[in-house]
Chain A
Amino acid sequence: MTSDKSTIDTPNADGVPADDVPPPAVEALDPRLLIREEGLKGYLIEFKRKMRGGELGSLPVVVALIIIWTIFQLKDSLFLSSTNMVNISYFLAGTGMIAVGLVFVLLLGEIDLSVASVSGLASALFAVFATTHGINTWLAALLTVGIGAGIGAFQGFFFAKIGVPAFVVTLAGNLGWNGLMLWVLGDTGSLSLSDNGPMHLLGQRSFFMDQDIAGAYILATLAVAALLIGSLIDQSRRRKVGVPFRATSEIVLRVAVLAVVSYAVAYVLNKSDGVPNALVIFLAALIICDFVLRRTTFGRKVFAVGGSIEGARRAGINVALIRIVVFAISGGFAALGGLFLAAQTYTATLGAGTGQLLMLAIAAAVIGGTSLFGGRGNVWSALLGMLVIQSIQTGLDLLNMNTSIQYMITGAVLLAAVVVDSVSRRTQRSSGRA
């Protein structure tokens, strides 16, 4: 790079040859780049560097999970039993669905405080549609989720088009939709739901492939095969066009880790009843959302808006539309979560969507590693976060802890998660990665 006056005054004459060195066969790399070395060793070095740089990813969750499971197992030997694991995996799906919607909103750097109330309203609406008006239960469920999405879009409109802070709009919604739920249920108080259609599918006695042992293993095999084939196809495409690709050893390591985890889970769940259908649907939703966020232009736009609103706008992205759609997604998932929660007891109660549900859903998303500051995170954090939350909930239930204690512990866990998020963001800033 010559930049002295003489070369600039006479461009192309003697300025070019300096730059015209034939490109090396292997592209010259910036010497300052701490590049990932090929193979397993490089993977470990990269991992250590990320940790130091504050890119903790899902590590805090895994650590937290191990600590929590150890403590509860020491207190009550039933905690790690397969029956209890099936319980945890079943009950995490409902709140988890709400958390999935929240992840989208958090990626924008916003918050939706109305999700719990919307989920409560959804259970009430579904009960009224299906029980009082006798609408087909599947249609009623579809209608309910649609209304949830509509509510989200309505709130998103006030935020995106009118410019009211999302925090205030959804706080108003939190109260308003709860009021609407009470009005919908009216004098009847609570409505019971019959054990059929979507309610049966999401209920506690519904398992994948009717508790067939093969069911869990089929799911595990599908997951492992999908990752393996996907990684290999990606590797060969990248190799063909000459861009950096994952080393085979790294792919093998990742696939092996997934295989160990998923077959272990399948084995444990199979020792009891198998894989709850609610969990299967939750996982399917996660896969779809992950695909949407990482592989579609819509997902890319969500991340862009979360990273820099001005940058997104200049790139021609309709920021208001993205915001409204994301809040609609959040509302839709909140309603879906409400149906999951209603199916747990086959009732729509006046208490649905109140209490700590909102805090649990937010905590799940944040604990799982989705940043409150926008632009960073993924939907899998809903699953990881819910594992932590539901383990605590179930553990405290096993120990017959009071609600008062539960609330305090949940509050403390949420605080801890936000502290980890803030600290890791600060570390990332100081090491230039945020």
Chain B
Amino acid sequence: MSAPLLSLRHLTVDYATDRGTARAVDSVSLDVASGETVALVGESGSGKTTLALSLLGLLPEPPARVAPESRIEYQGANLAGGDNASWRRVRGREMGMVFQDPSLSLNPVLTVGSQVAEVVRTHSKCTRREATTRAAELLAMVGVDSPALRARQYAHQLSGGLRQRAMIAIALAGEPKLLIADEPTAALDVTVQAQIVELLAELRRRLGMAVLLVTHDFGLVAQMADRVVVMYAGQVAEMAPAPVVFSGAAHPYTQGLLLAARGGAGSAERRLAAIPGAPPAATAWPSACRFHPRCARAWNHCRAEAPQLERVSEGHDARCWLVSEPAGETGGRPS
């Protein structure tokens, strides 16, 4: 494999809160290759959105603070700790971003077309007229009907699906090599979700760009992802090629997420498939293995010592004692 497009090493983000420091992202290392789609999966509060925002230097600092040892390498150059000027060189033209709720991420007082054109003009030297033409082309590319008309409309005049398409057009206006999509379908109707997923998959094929997909929806992962990174409590819990995750997830948390997503045939089974308990708060991660309070398969070792990411097979790592001590589970009980 050639050098990755984006490479995170020991990315750590702390938030200063009233109740002490919250380590929202804890030493996360991962790579995204050119043209690859990586899904970042986890529950609310697992740090995935914080991670996505930190990639473009968008975290409000303070209260957020990216630890000095963190490295965010884009095409080999470290972005972490850079100033606004250095961030602006990558924002939009190298990495584009699509946000969760298009009704909030489009400016209510500007026409959709002018918002696309504005990003076009920021990243390429062209006249106002050329930018307007390009904006309509981009809107057409993301499947907006009668783009010239839609370009003159405001966000509130568009449906949820059209808004998200417009937002994707804006994110693509700088022709980025990596698209960061933070829960791009979470705020949409189920029927529209499928269309947006299809659009993203098609755009990725056509434009050959890499996608970092932040989501908690395994349906989305199944349709798009080449590789899956599962986050729990700010750490990488498991990371594997997508088919491997679906056929043989090693971490009980990943297994739980998959079960919850698939459910069973009946509603009773679906309810049983939920992971017990709630995600922990970032101010007080559980000691040792952070998942042990909610893990059905936890034993003494899980409560005593934090597991490291262990290699399960080539390209497949999991942070669980079951990987290195598969017998521990039975041997350790009862505790």
Q: Do A and B bind each other?
A: no
Q: Which residues of B contact A (CB under 8 A)?
A: none
